[in-house]
Amino acid sequence: MMDLVIRNGLSDKTGTPIEVGITDGIIVAVEPSGIPAGDKEIDAGGGLISPAFIESHFHLENAYLWDGMINQSGTLQEAIEIYAKIKHDLTVEDMVERAGQVIRTAVSHGTLWLRSHVDIDHIAKLSILEGVAAAREAYKDLIDIQLVAFPQLGLAQNPEAVDMMWQAMENGCDLVGGMPHGEQNMDNAAKQIEIAFEIAQKYNADVDMHIDETDNPYWHSLELLADKTIETGWQGRVTAGHCCAMSAWDDKMAARIIEKVRQANIHVITNAPINLMLEGRGHNHPKPRGIARVKELLEAGVNVSCGQDDVQNMFYPYGKMDPLEVALITAHAAHLGGPEEIQAAFDMGRYNAAKLWKLDNYGVHVGAPANLIVLDAKSPVEALRRQPDRRYVIRQGKVLVETKTAVTWHT
Q: Which residues are catalytic?
A: 213
Helix (H) or strand (E) holding 175, with range, is: strand 175-176
CB atoms within 10 A of CB 74: 16
Q: How far apart are CA 323 and CA 318, in angstroms?
A: 14
41 strand-pairing partners: 5
Q: How far apart are CA 314 and CA 76, in angstroms?
A: 9
Distance in Å from the first CA to the final CA of the chain: 47
All residues at 6 or more sequence positions from 157 whose CB lies less than 8 Å from its CB, including other chains: 183, 184, 188
Give me the amino acid identity at 110: G
Q: How far apart are CA 407 and CA 373, in angstroms?
A: 22
Q: How far apart are CA 145 and CA 138, in angstroms?
A: 11
| Residue 226, phi then psi, degrees to nearest 5 | -65, -45
Closest to 152 measured CA to CA, from 82, 249, 99, 68: 82
CA quadruple 36, 42, 45, 46: dihedral sign: negative
